[in-house]
Amino acid sequence: MSSPSSGHGFIGHPVKQCVNPQKRPAWHELSVSEKMEYIRAVNCLPTKPSYIHPNSTVYDDFTWLHIVDGDQIHFAAANLPWHRWHLHLYEAALQRECGFKGVLPYWDWELDNEGTKESDFFNPVHGFGGNSLNTDMYEFNEQNIPLFDDKHCIKDGPFAWLQPQWTGAIEEGPTFWPHCLTRRYSEQFIKPGIAKLLALTDYEEFNLKVEDLHTWLAQALMGEYLTLQASNDPTFFPHLAKIDQIWWRWQQLENQRNLWSYNGQARRSTPNKASLDDIMIFHAYPGMQRDVIRARDVMSTKTDLLCYTY
């Protein structure tokens, strides 16, 4: 299905269909060696100096972006295309900064019938394992932001060494606050139903229902997921890729009926209606491609801009 208008991708660069789109795999489809290579690349990003803050890292740059720009795109039409581009830039950083030769995987929690503690996704060696030993709830400050102290530091797994640099909630902005990576598994692992979501025909309704998928995981893992700093947790990007996969599936239904479906409130702070020509607000920095990206540029994943499928 072609675009509803001529449009173009990067300014001055017409979008072309990619010839050999890469297929993003589910985590459980990877071999152990492929899983370990992905973990190696993720653990490499915190060793690379930030393009934004002199005392931070490339890994933390993506949380800074999610806090600063996510404040406007969550609960608005830009949510899905903005996060699709965020994922693309993260994958590109793994490849550019850390020599990752693979493709960004997604966590297919639809097939994960076990609780968080039993899930292979959280394997302590070749997964994202690790939980705090403390089962107490988090304490919150006057701005209702969790106080991330060493009570909830994860104690094992390949990411137990991480020291995320940023915290931040909606309308609060980023705060430079180095802390340990925190989680507090819920005993419940109640996955949201996807069939009803895929049956929706209106983008605005679909998009707002997708926001519930973030709420679900926040209740399951807590920790960094309790605020906009969710991308501090390495599980965030495979989870986000799963959400992107669900959007992609919705777009493919009935001969790509929903491919160019895009409506609702453009951004959270504006009454303006969404348009495919809306610019994706992104605080670019030298490590990123700096061209203007519009919503229409990332509606299809099978272009030379993104070039992937599921």
As a whole number of angstroms, the distance between CA 26 and CA 14 comes to 31
For residue 146, what are the β-bridge partners? 140
Structure confidence by residue, pLDDT tens digits, 149-202: 667 788 889 999 999 999 886 667 888 989 999 888 766 566 667 999 999 999
- Rounded to a whole number, what is the largest CA-CA distance in the chain? 55
Count of CB atoms situated within 10 Å of the CB of 111: 9
Predicted local confidence at residue 92, as pLDDT: 92
Q: Supply 54's token pair.
A: 């002199």
As a whole number of angstroms, the distance between CA 159 and CA 162 comes to 6
Predicted local confidence at residue 119, as pLDDT: 79
Predicted local confidence at residue 104, as pLDDT: 98
As a whole number of angstroms, the distance between CA 239 and CA 246 comes to 11
Smallest Cα–Cα separation from 194: which of 119, 252, 108, 86? Answer: 108
3-state class of 146 per DSSP?
strand
DSSP state of 309: E
In one-letter notation, the amino acid at residue 108 is: D
On whether the CB atoms of residues 247 and 306 are closer than 8 A, the answer is: no
Low-confidence stretches of the chain (pLDDT beneath 70) = 1-15, 113-117, 133-150, 169-171, 186-192, 284-291
Structure confidence by residue, pLDDT tens digits, 96-106: 999 999 999 99
pTM assigned to the model:
0.90
Angle separating helix axes 32-44 and 79-98, nearest 10 degrees = 90
Smallest Cα–Cα separation from 171: which of 204, 213, 143? Answer: 143
Angle separating helix axes 79-98 and 236-256, nearest 10 degrees = 130
3-state class of 17 per DSSP?
strand
On whether the CB atoms of residues 159 and 46 are closer than 8 A, the answer is: no
Predicted local confidence at residue 58, as pLDDT: 95
